[in-house]
């Protein structure tokens, strides 16, 4: 692990700049920046920032912890770094349309009507998202923080040669690439978004130093149509990708069972230096663009498991990005605030702050929830049976096809 800095003794960082809201695909687009702005406001109002007492560590308080949680701004990021993963002709197309929308849409590069429309200023806005995820990586790798969170990040569908699925440049991949360039020998990437983390997988499919794990709704039913259990990485690194496709209607209990069956043992066997996660919360039962059936309480259980893995496997080194989530008021801010609370070890109040609820209603016209937790959802017995069967098939396939590459028995 050459290059890793000294331990940060309990410091946690949120990477944020108001300009990150400039990644705006349009007033009717589901990836509305208000969801991230409301997340940051909720984090601030719930007292998660600033000095804190003993963190709620899984093995007790960290010795000598300064327990400080703060906001940091994105650092530098230049086109040389961008071009390590994205093709020059694609970047040139983004820059051209960014400066002059009258140049017309360019479907060749995924920029046009549909999922990823071009918008004025999209190149600098996308660069800033990458800068924020790179800064999160730097904070943790150089020992300035144990954990770092970029709520505006998680643009995991962007490909080397094109934009896709609301994503122009792939900031989680940028963070991973930076880590590898600065001494990380093994990086585990865990993607819990409802959509397959295809872009990150593609960029590192032949790199045995990177393990990509994605739990998602099956591509038989949902964009991007990829991520089958048989997809286990490139010819240069078989076993470098692990995919757990799930059936529509999968509730949190089955999702978490699948996670427990294979994800923790796989990450432990891979023994990464650092854990990078994409925390898309569009797995929620109310998400308008997908069909799984998790609750925010299930999301909290996911974050608890990830936190535990980080402390037990990567000496606490954990980088998190946002991602998908299109229930803009009722889900995304609460869920990602719960993730950040897990990172800091601080408890959340039972009720969401009144000031935040007023702001959320003022900005969106939607009545936000009064509480952080919510009631379980009811899923039909038939749907549960289908979901369980599909999850068991995915787990069995991963056991057979991926685990042996990491010295684990099928």
| pLDDT interval class at 12 (50, 70, 90) | very high
Give residue 61's pLDDT: 39
| For range 282-287, the mean pLDDT | 98
Separation between Cα atoms, residue 385 and residue 279, nearest integer Å: 26
Q: In this model, does residue 39 exceed pLDDT 80?
A: yes
Q: Which pTM value belongs to this model?
A: 0.95
Do residues 391 and 246 lie in contact, with contact meaning Cβ atoms separated by under 8 Å?
Answer: yes
pLDDT for the residue numbered 113: 84
Among left, alpha and beta (phi > 0; psi -120 to 50; other), residue 291 is alpha
With beta carbons less than 8 A apart as the criterion, state whether 110 and 164 touch.
yes
SS3 state of residue 246: strand
- Percent of the chain whose predicted confidence (pLDDT) is above 70: 94
Give the pLDDT score at 1. 59
Least confident window among 112-116, 171-175, 230-234:
112-116
The rounded distance, in Å, linking the Cα atoms of 229 and 262 is 13
Residue 3: its pLDDT value, please?
A: 59
Number of CB atoms found within 10 A of residue 42's CB: 27
Q: How far apart are CA 52 and CA 56, in angstroms?
A: 11
Express each pLDDT in 300-330 by its tens digit: 999 999 999 999 999 999 999 999 999 999 9
In this structure, which long-range contacts are made by residues 47-50, counting pairs with CB atoms below 8 Å and at least 24 apart in sequence?
Answer: 47/346, 48/337, 48/340, 48/341, 48/344, 48/346, 49/14
- Residue 7 has a pLDDT of 63
Each residue's pLDDT tens digit, 123-153: 999 999 999 999 999 999 999 999 999 999 9
Output Rg (C-alpha) for the chain, integer angstroms.
Answer: 20
**What pLDDT score does 53 carry?**
52
* Confidence category of residue 55, pLDDT binned at 50, 70, 90: very low
So what's the pLDDT on residue 107? 84
Cβ count near 236 (within 10 Å)? 10
Coil, strand or helix: which one is 215?
Answer: strand
Q: How confident is the model at residue 8 (pLDDT cuts 50, 70, 90)?
A: low
Burial of 380 (0-12, 13-18, 19+ CB in 10 A): exposed
- Token pair belonging to 347: 């408890």
pLDDT at 265 over 80: yes
pLDDT the model gives residue 59: 44
User: CATH number of the domain at 12-86+122-406, out of 3.20.20.70, 3.40.50.300, 3.30.70.270, 3.40.800.20?
Assistant: 3.40.800.20
Residue scoring higher pLDDT (166 or 2): 166
Q: What is the pLDDT of residues 147-162, one digit of tens each?
A: 999 999 999 999 999 9
d(CA 93, CA 71): 33
Q: Count CB-CB contacts under 10 A for residue 286.
A: 15
pLDDT reported for residue 62: 38
Interval 39-54 mean pLDDT? 87
């Amino acid at each position: 692990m050459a290059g890793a800095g000294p331990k940060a003794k309990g410091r946690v960082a949120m990477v944020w700049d108001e300009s990150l809201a400039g990644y705006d695909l349009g007033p009717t687009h589901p990836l509305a920046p208000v969801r991230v702005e409301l997340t940051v406001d909720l984090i601030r109002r719930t007292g998660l920032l600033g000095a804190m007492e003993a963190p709620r560590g899984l093995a007790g308080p960290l010795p000598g912890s300064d327990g400080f949680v703060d906001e940091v701004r994105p650092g530098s990021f230049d086109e040389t770094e961008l071009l390590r993963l994205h093709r020059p002709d694609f970047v040139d197309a983004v820059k051209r349309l960014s400066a002059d929308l009258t140049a017309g849409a360019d479907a060749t590069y995924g920029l046009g009507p549909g999922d990823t429309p071009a918008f004025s200023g999209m190149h600098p806005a996308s660069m800033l998202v990458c800068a924020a995820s790179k800064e999160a990586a730097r904070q943790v790798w150089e020992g300035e923080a144990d954990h770092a969170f970029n709520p505006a990040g998680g643009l995991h569908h962007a490909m080397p040669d094109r934009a896709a699925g609301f994503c122009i440049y792939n900031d989680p991949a940028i963070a991973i690439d930076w880590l590898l360039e600065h001494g990380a020998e093994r990086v585990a990437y865990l993607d819990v978004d409802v959509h397959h983390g295809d872009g990150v997988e593609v960029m590192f499919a032949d790199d045995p130093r990177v393990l990509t794990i994605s739990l998602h709704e099956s591509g038989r039913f949902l964009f991007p149509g990829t991520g089958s259990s048989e997809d286990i990485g490139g010819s240069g690194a078989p076993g470098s990708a692990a995919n757990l496709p799930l059936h529509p209607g999968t509730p949190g209990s089955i999702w978490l069972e699948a996670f427990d069956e294979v994800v923790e043992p796989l990450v432990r066997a891979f023994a990464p230096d650092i854990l990078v996660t994409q925390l898309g919360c569009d797995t929620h039962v109310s998400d308008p663009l997908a069909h799984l059936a998790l609750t925010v309480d299930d999301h909290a259980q996911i974050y608890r498991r990830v936190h535990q893995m980080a402390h037990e496997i990567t000496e606490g080194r954990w980088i998190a990005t946002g991602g998908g989530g299109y229930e803009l008021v009722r889900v995304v801010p609460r869920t990602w605030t719960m993730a950040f609370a897990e990172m800091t070890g601080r408890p959340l109040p039972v009720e969401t702050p009144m000031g935040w609820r007023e702001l959320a209603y003022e900005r969106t016209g939607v009545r936000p929830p009064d509480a952080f937790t919510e009631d379980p959802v009811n899923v039909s017995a038939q749907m549960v049976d289908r979901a369980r069967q599909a999850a068991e098939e995915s787990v069995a396939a991963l056991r057979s096809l991926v685990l042996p590459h990491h010295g684990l028995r099928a």
